[in-house]
Amino acid sequence: MDRLGGETGRERVESRLDSIVHDNRVTIAVTFPLVGVVLLLAGEAGYVPDALAFNPYLMVAAVTIMALPLASGIAPIVDRRAAVGLLALAAFTWAIELVGVQTGLPYGEFTYERELGPMVFGDVPLALPIFFVPILLNSYLLGILVLGDRADRLAIRFPTVVALVVVLDLVLDPGAVALDFWGWTDPGVYYGVPVINFLGWILAATVAVGILTVAFDHDAIVSRLETCPYLLDDLINFGIFWGLVNVAAFNLVPALVATGILLVLVRAPWFDFAGLPFGSRTLE
């Protein structure tokens, strides 16, 4: 509140964003990923021009919109320390990816095969944090759901969240390879993804979860998870989008993992399926 008791500029922005997300939950969590899958698969099959199906600016815009539930959900608990932490995560994302592209470590030698918008030093997508930070935050939320009260213990929560980041990548990378977003010089046995990539993700996740742990108050995140009805919606669109991409590519294991993530959500006590009559949360 300002000194006169009215809303501050930040509170007005947060309130407006909350209304937009709340009123468009099905569109963001379900319609966007479904349309995205159809468009990208049609482009991959040659039915839609790449300039439309794989337009980098449309893709970044779509990913940003699909991340709005997460952004709006955590916005009220982003204080100065959390803001610095998010900036640190963005910088770390660019830095480790740049090292990875230029040296082959820690993910193995890989290249971006499609344009993903402006590039940092010509090698790393500028929008990369928009892709990575939601994976990190979603893994944290998923860890809370999986662990329950045990999530209050850092010694249990930390390695669990790191492991879940890697689990989400077990879904993401095979799908991205199937869509020719990127690929490895020496493809691995896991749907074209080498083992070294996942070892690299363990390293990256350990650092990133460490930053997240320092930056955010755990109790505040739990409180938002309990009270914000759409905070898990970004996980819904992740599971739908990458699950269907992997189904279309006949990537059985990633598709099953994506299905498992959605089942964990459905069983969660704080979950409703984008406002639809599924899940455990009592609908308003």
Would 284 be classed as within a structural domain? no
Read off the pLDDT band of 269 (50, 70, 90): confident
The arithmetic mean of pLDDT across residues 81-107, rounded, is 98
Q: What is the pTM of this model?
A: 0.93
pLDDT of amino acid 102: 96
pLDDT of amino acid 7: 76
Closest by CA position to 208, among listed 168, 174, 180: 168
Would 28 be classed as within a structural domain? yes
Would 232 be classed as within a structural domain? yes
pLDDT of amino acid 6: 64
Please check the confidence at residue 279 and state whether its pLDDT lies above 80.
no
pLDDT of amino acid 218: 98
The arithmetic mean of pLDDT across residues 254-274, rounded, is 86
Q: Which residues contact 9 (CB under 8 A, 6 or more apart)?
A: none
Its domain, for residue 62, covers 9-279
pLDDT of amino acid 84: 99
Q: How many domains does the chain have?
A: 1
pLDDT of amino acid 140: 98
Dist CA 202 CA 167 (whole Å): 10
Would 1 be classed as within a structural domain? no
pLDDT of amino acid 283: 36
Mean pLDDT of the chain: 93
pLDDT of amino acid 213: 98
The arithmetic mean of pLDDT across residues 162-185, rounded, is 98
Please check the confidence at residue 63 and state whether its pLDDT lies above 70.
yes
Give percent of the chain above pLDDT 90.
90
Please check the confidence at residue 83 and state whether its pLDDT lies above 50.
yes
Please check the confidence at residue 41 and state whether its pLDDT lies above 90.
yes
Would 265 be classed as within a structural domain? yes
The SS3 of residue 71 is helix
The arithmetic mean of pLDDT across residues 196-205, rounded, is 98
pLDDT of amino acid 39: 97
Work out whether the CA dihedral 235, 177, 86, 32 comes out positive or negative.
Answer: negative
Dist CA 243 CA 130 (whole Å): 20
Would 236 be classed as within a structural domain? yes
Would 130 be classed as within a structural domain? yes
pLDDT of amino acid 119: 94
Q: For 163-189, give the DSSP string.
A: HHHHHHHHHHHHHHHHTTSEEESS--T
pLDDT of amino acid 3: 53
- How large is the angle between the packed helices 128-147 and 56-66, nearest 10 degrees? 30
Read off the pLDDT band of 267 (50, 70, 90): confident
Please check the confidence at residue 76 and state whether its pLDDT lies above 90.
yes
* Cis peptide leading into residue 118 (ω within 30°): no
**Which of residues 174 and 282 earns the better pLDDT score?**
174
Would 229 be classed as within a structural domain? yes
Closest by CA position to 72, among listed 148, 124, 21, 133: 21
